[in-house]
Amino acid sequence: MTTGNATRILRAPGRLVVSPSDLSLAYPYGGTEVGKTRLVALSRVGAPFRVPCEGLGGESSDVLEPPALFVFSCFLRGWDDDAVERFFANNFVQGATSGHAVMREPGLRVGGASALGRAVSLLYVPDDPIHAPACLVYRGVPDWTDGAEVAWQRQEELGIPLAVECLRDGASKIVEVGRLADLTL
């Protein structure tokens, strides 16, 4: 492990790409850039299960691995037409006058129906790809971050609070985090 260096502490802003196809290509790697990001996080959902042992007075004798459940979340800065179309396809229409994205509710989504039709692959590219890790979600279902809001006020930046439920793709891959040069599609 290297010695800590306060000058290397990052806020790690970056950009988000939907459906990258080849990381050897120039940015956006064959995909579509959907905007600048801030507040990027990858969260693991769930916890290991402790196996109690009666012979040890209820003390744990084993720990079972947790399931591989991840949520990628970020705040997309601004209102990007491509982001609204890609992430909220069932609620997207093109404005008749301006030609820009309009999100409508209730749209075509039906509560309790499968959301796999909206799944996308997603690549977070940090502004400093040498010192900050990138994140590749192989297949994920995007939606609003639970409890989040789009705010039209001076104190808050306008943007899209995004949460992506990470799922296994056809090759059984879920997510990769590391230097951009080391990630593989």
Report yes or no on 3 lying in a domain: no
| pLDDT above 70 for 44 | yes
- pLDDT grade for 1, boundaries at 50, 70 and 90: very low
Structural domain span for residue 80: 12-41+67-182
In a domain, 169, yes or no: yes
If one counts the domains in the chain, the total is 1
- pLDDT tens digits along 89-120: 776 677 778 777 777 777 677 777 788 888 99
Residues in the chain: 185
Q: Please give the share of the chain, as a percent, with pLDDT higher than 90.
A: 34
Q: Does residue 9 carry a pLDDT above 60?
A: no
Instruction: Return the CA Rg of the chain.
Output: 19
Query: Cα(134)–Cα(127) distance, rounded to whole angstroms?
Result: 10
Q: Evaluate if residue 150 carries a pLDDT over 70.
A: no
17 in helix, strand or coil?
Answer: strand
Q: Confirm whether 51 is domain-assigned.
A: no
Tens of pLDDT, residues 162-182: 889 999 999 999 999 999 999
Q: Which of 125, 109, 116 is nearest to 34 (CA)?
A: 125
Task: From 117, 110, 92, 111, select the one nearest 102 (Cα to Cα).
Answer: 92
pLDDT at 181: 92
Is residue 104 situated within a structural domain?
yes
Write the pLDDT tens digit of every residue in 68-83. Answer: 889 998 888 877 778 8
23: confidence class by pLDDT, cuts 50, 70, 90:
very high
pLDDT attached to residue 81: 79
* Cα-Cα-Cα-Cα dihedral sign, residues 129, 156, 118, 165: positive
pTM of the model: 0.78
Whether residue 58 lies inside any domain: the answer is no
Whether residue 36 lies inside any domain: the answer is yes
In a domain, 62, yes or no: no
